[in-house]
Structure 1
Amino acid sequence: MWTEEEIATIDQEDSLFISIPNSEGVLHKPTYIWGVSAGGDFYARGASGVESKWYQAALISKRAHITIGNVDKEVILEFPDDPTTKTIVDQAYRQKYNSYLDLMTSDSVAAATVKMIPVH
């Protein structure tokens, strides 16, 4: 579970970096992505949809290291595709990223939604 402080950081910070481990467990160079909190959970989307390189790597690894503000965590990745999650994540992107709204809430980008669960 994310702490209230971590969620507050996620809500305020734009600079989210994700590193996905390769098959040997070595983390790739951090990739800048956009993430949001919704319903107490943390989500990100691949701006290039399911073709995003980091998203493709995430599907294989199902683990990552993320840094956003002072939050630096190992996470487990899930790939929700239900309409309720799409709606709440769309709303979170609308609130946080007005200037990128059309891109981040398009159906092709929403298809690349990743839920990040902290490893404690």
Structure 2
Amino acid sequence: MTPWTPSTLAALRDTFSLYLAAGPAGPDTPEVEVGMVLADGDLYVRPQRGTTSQWYRAAVSHGIGHVRVAGEAVAVRFEPAGPEVRAAVDAAYRIKYGELASFAVSTPSRLATLRITPA
């Protein structure tokens, strides 16, 4: 695994959301804007509709894709996160998004937590 660059980490900390695309890169690969958080040094995303979300299913199915934040595109890997990180991710969403965090701390969203790492 390649670590996040310092500039990408700063962008992830300071930006409200990122753009995510699941699957091999290409002109027809759709991107979706999602909220994200850093927890214990790792990047996490959660779909509002949980495991029924189309982009979530694509990310799990492909396991690869890219994210774009602050104009920088990074090839990434997606992996389902285990229950051991849910509390830390919940807290990170509440700190970052305040009252808006309800989209990410519902039971369906919590069950669909994805960890994103640079490819």
The answer (yes or no) to whether the contact 2:21–2:31 under 8 Å persists in 1 is: yes
What residue in structure 2 maps to residue 10 of structure 1?
A: 12
Stretch of structure 1 that moved more, 64-73 or 54-63: 64-73
* Structure 1 residue 73, shift from structure 2 partner: 0.2
Cα distance in 1, alignment partners of residues 105 and 19 from structure 2: 20
Cα distance in 2, alignment partners of residues 37 and 11 from structure 1: 7
What residue in structure 2 maps to residue 109 of structure 1?
A: 109
What residue in structure 1 maps to residue 99 of structure 2?
A: 99
The answer (yes or no) to whether the contact 2:8–2:69 under 8 Å persists in 1 is: no
User: For this pair of structures, how many residues does the alignment match?
Assistant: 116
Q: TM-score, normalised by structure 2?
A: 0.88
* Structure 1 residue 102, shift from structure 2 partner: 1.9
* Structure 1 residue 40, shift from structure 2 partner: 1.0
User: Secondary structure of the residue that 2:8 maps to in structure 1?
Assistant: helix
Cα distance in 2, alignment partners of residues 15 and 105 from structure 1: 16
The answer (yes or no) to whether the contact 2:46–2:112 under 8 Å persists in 1 is: yes
The answer (yes or no) to whether the contact 1:20–1:64 under 8 Å persists in 2 is: yes
The answer (yes or no) to whether the contact 2:23–2:63 under 8 Å persists in 1 is: no
The answer (yes or no) to whether the contact 1:9–1:70 under 8 Å persists in 2 is: no
1:34-91 per-residue CA deviation (whole Å, 9 max, x = no partner) reads 1111111111111111111000111110001100114310001110122x31011111
What residue in structure 2 maps to residue 86 of structure 1?
A: 86
What residue in structure 1 maps to residue 61 of structure 2?
A: 60
Cα distance in 2, alignment partners of residues 100 and 48 from structure 1: 15
1:20-99 → structure 2 map (5 Å cutoff): 20-21=22-23, 26=26, 28-82=29-83, 84-99=84-99
User: Secondary structure of the residue that 1:32 maps to in structure 2?
Assistant: strand
